[in-house]
Structure 1
């Protein structure tokens, strides 16, 4: 393990292998494309705050491939427990390693204090995912800072965040709404996951601890649903340019996952994904859609085309629809579809600042003061992954 001290006393910790070489990716080895060789696109996930760092740990536990993981936190003890190969302790001056006390303004200052270290960590990325739980201090205040740094570097920047449960109180809800508003202005695409709606499909006897763990796993699934489209091999491959075409400057995203088996499995999987009672945003009017069909060797082009046609009719007539297929021997008799639809909000994209392509090592400030006042904003949510519905129905 190697630890270096950045400007302002921030700590960057990188786990190392037996030859003292930096480790990246879920398995502690250099990220490799599943088909062999280096991945053509460099993907990085920055988990900031407690919820974001937990999502990173879940992805590592699930052996997600082809992605570099970075945990960012003000809480030194939480970072020690993190499995991320790269861990950045931010805001030593602002918080002295003790956390942000649930104050987004302090989380923002901590992230700003350590912008050089964050910039170094995301250096060279083609795509940066920012995972955070909205409503707390570090994630809410720090995520927009990370987004500014990532976009300044020229990376495609995608936020995947959760909104708090109702039982967490009105203050956290207010902080979350403002944090979401600030983050949405700074990312290409923002996937929002409503924690409260998880309770509608969860076991009524679920404990508070289990509820938060479930939220962390959904956050993980939201990121993996995109990264797998790029990193996993398929008969019809989707690559980074396909994802970029759909997610650049796209505003709010809808993500859905469905799985079915039997004669009409493809259409049933699509209907399962698109017709969930938990879905607050209709796919009608989507201008960009990514589809990934995963099935066994018995998957046919006819059924894939039939399912894709359903999505085509639900989206904007001139929507950019791209689909790929992945053959998985373990999926014999079953089919899973991942749908990512974007381009619902034109206003958000128009208000977003022009992407900066300045020097990667620029030290100039890129963040303005965040306003965590009582402002309220209605935000759209995304689909809850289908595997959660199946898990809850089985309890």
Structure 2
């Protein structure tokens, strides 16, 4: 007999802190998607952008340093801003069992402040997971270089760091996709990375995980990768699982991972057979010695869709670098169906006011309102906090 014991889950305090433009935008996405059981915090150096955030807790950092005008795409300013506001950051993070720090790497506030914030969360005893994006190549060498430094600092500050390579998104969207939609895609994947984990603890489902399960997979595990698969129809469970483990976002094969966390989300018609089918496919692609846990979440809004999210942890840096330079073997799935992964995302895009997209068109004006720090937020939302 199956027993659904969520007593442990109810005790786990999960906080999601979005830092800078990309992070704030990811928080807004989660709020709009009705993510449950987590506390949202928006942090920014830009006071005007922060006022537009939908998070219940909004914290302006570095007010003395930046006077509320942003970090000017300078990570050092972002870092000093977080250090200036350390006491306030400690206050909003205190009491959390798990903290997600999400940001876009390459600009000023997210790149500089996120590692400081992650370190504070970890010092307070929280399981700390970073979910960040690596910028598109077309965003320029300066932003790429700054992102490398920020990612390196994040690795030293978190238990597990999930890095989402924006360039890989170009492989799963249509070639005619406008640039602004490509940025929206990156922001949405940040949301999916956090929600794929937090839902397993905080949202009732067929198979729930407690906080200890997640901590086992993600504590002190270093680099991690994420794959997402979405499918409908008769074989939706197996197709979604295959897409997840062959996702371009997953830069290397999951058989090099020491731990795998899997989320299978579906509507009210999701069956235990489908959950088992998807889990078997992911398990068969993993190393025999891998520590794999999975859970299943019910989302009434999905109807016929199944979403499989795979978080693979514990990669060695050597293995990641080697596999990134080696093409991944493709699974026997229909690649033409990949664009359907974006269906729920495209529905959200229609809601975006285009006037908020204009600042991205002047990417060379780095200093104005920290445009490179908040590319996602200005592009995607009325909030750019």
Query: What TM-score comes out, normalization by structure 1 length?
Result: 0.76
Once the two structures are TM-superposed, the CA of residue 202 in structure 1 deviates from its matched residue by 2.9
Judge conservation of contact 1:296–1:335 (CA < 8 Å) in 2: yes
- Equivalenced residue count is 330
Using the TM superposition, give the Cα deviation of residue 128 of structure 1 relative to its aligned residue in structure 2, in angstroms. 0.5
Gaps of 5+ in 2: 326-337, 348-385
- Three-state SS of the structure 2 residue aligned to 1:324 is strand
Offset, 1:266: 2.4
- State the partner residue of 1:41: 12
Q: Describe the shift of the 1:228–1:284 C-alpha distance in structure 2 as closer, same or farther (beyond 3 A).
A: same
Cα offsets for 1:66-91 (capped at 9, x unmatched): 11111111111111111111111111
Which 4+ residue blocks in structure 1 deviate beyond 6 angstroms?
34-38, 377-381, 392-395
Give the superposed CA RMSD.
3.0
After superposition, the Cα gap between the structure-2 partners of 1:298 and 1:74, relative to the gap in structure 1 and judged at 3 Å, is: closer
- Paired with 1:38 and 1:271, the residues of 2 have a C-alpha distance of 29
Considering fraction of residues, name the structure with more helix.
Answer: 2
Residue 195 of structure 2 is aligned to residue 224 of structure 1? yes
Tell me how far 1:276 sits from its aligned partner.
Answer: 2.9
Contact 1:287–1:315, Cα closer than 8 Å, also in 2: no
Q: Which residue of 2 aligns with 1:101?
A: 72
Higher RCO (CA 8 Å, separation ≥ 6 residues): 2
- For 2:294 and 2:343, the matched residues in 1 are separated by 27
Q: Which moved more, 1:165-174 or 1:194-203?
A: 194-203
Specify every segment of 5 or more residues in structure 1 that has no aligned partner in the other structure, as ranges. Answer: 1-33, 349-376
- Give CA deviations for 1:146-188 in whole Å, capped at 9, x if unaligned: 0110000000000011111122110110000011011011111
Matched, 1:315 2:286: yes
Aligned to 1:212: 183
> Partners of 2:120 and 2:253 in 1: how far apart?
32
Residue 203 of structure 1 contacts residue 392 of structure 1 at CA under 8 Å; is this kept in 2?
no
> TM-score w.r.t. structure 2 length?
0.78
Q: Kindly provide the CA deviation profile for residues 171-223 of structure 1, in whole angstroms up to 9, marking residues without a partner as x.
A: 11000001101101111111111122223333444444333222211111111
Distance in structure 2 (CA, Å) of the matches to 1:121 and 1:133: 21
Tell me, in whole angstroms, the C-alpha distance in 2 between the residues paired with 1:249 and 1:391. Answer: 35
Q: CA deviation at 1:244?
A: 0.7
Q: Evaluate the alpha carbon distance shift between residue 231 and residue 213 of structure 1 in structure 2; reply closer, same or farther with a 3 A threshold.
A: same
* Structure 1 SS opposite 2:256: coil
Deviation of the 1:292 alpha carbon: 2.5
Q: Is the 8 A contact 1:202 1:392 kept in 2?
A: no
